[in-house]
Amino acid sequence: MTATLVLIKPDGVRRSLVGEIIRRCEAKGYKVADLKLVEPNREILAKHYAEHEGKPFYEPLMEFMLSGPIVAIRLEGERVIEGFRSLAGATDPTLAAPGTIRGDLSRDWGTKVIQNLVHGSDSEESAARELAIWF
């Protein structure tokens, strides 16, 4: 049994897609082990996105992630990290396959950074680090 961090980003919360995203995770057989609605601050986001500091998209990303509440989820299951990333779909929603969260529910809105509904940890190390930040 492994765990991953899933964030439903401000665009997902704003568009009332929280229930649908959680439904897809549970339908896949994963367990929501913890969940909370967070009004993120710059400090927590700076820890989460530390590896991107100084990159051109960093400030627009921070601005977007500070634009509204986020739902943080501790999702558990066998191979949940790669499973959720597959369920989420490609980072670019225009290229995300139909049937994925991003492929079905997101698109390019022409914003400074891609607003693609969800974040999922990319490795066991990232999951441990990110879960410690958010939970």
Closest CA to 130 of 75, 58, 53, 48: 48
Q: Compute the distance between CA of residue 81 and CA of residue 60 in angstroms, rounded to an integer.
A: 26
DSSP type of residue 9: -
Please identify every stretch of the chain with a pLDDT value under 70, giving residue numbers as ranges. Answer: none
For the chain, the domain total comes to 1
Q: Are 5 and 34 contacting, i.e. CB atoms less than 8 angstroms apart?
A: no
Q: 7: domain CATH number? A: 3.30.70.141
Q: What per-residue confidence (pLDDT) applies to 40?
A: 96
Round to whole Å and give the CA distance between 39 and 133: 14
pTM score: 0.96
Structural domain for 94, as ranges: 2-134
Assigned token pair, 87: 């369920």
pLDDT of residue 96: 98
What is the per-residue pLDDT for 6? Answer: 98
Amino acid type, 88: A
119 assigned to active site: yes
pLDDT at site 33: 98
Q: What distances in angstroms separate CA 2 from CA 32, 47, 116, 126, one per listed residue? A: 12, 22, 24, 12
Q: How many CB atoms lie within 10 A of CB 19?
A: 8
Q: Which of 125, 133, 109, 123 lies closest to 60 in space, CA to CA?
A: 109
Burial class of residue 129 (count of CB atoms within 10 Å of its CB; 0-12, 13-18, 19+): middle
| Opening angle at CA 14, ends 130 and 35, nearest 5 | 35
Catalytic residue, candidates 119, 121, 130, 134: 119
- At residue 7, the pLDDT reads 98
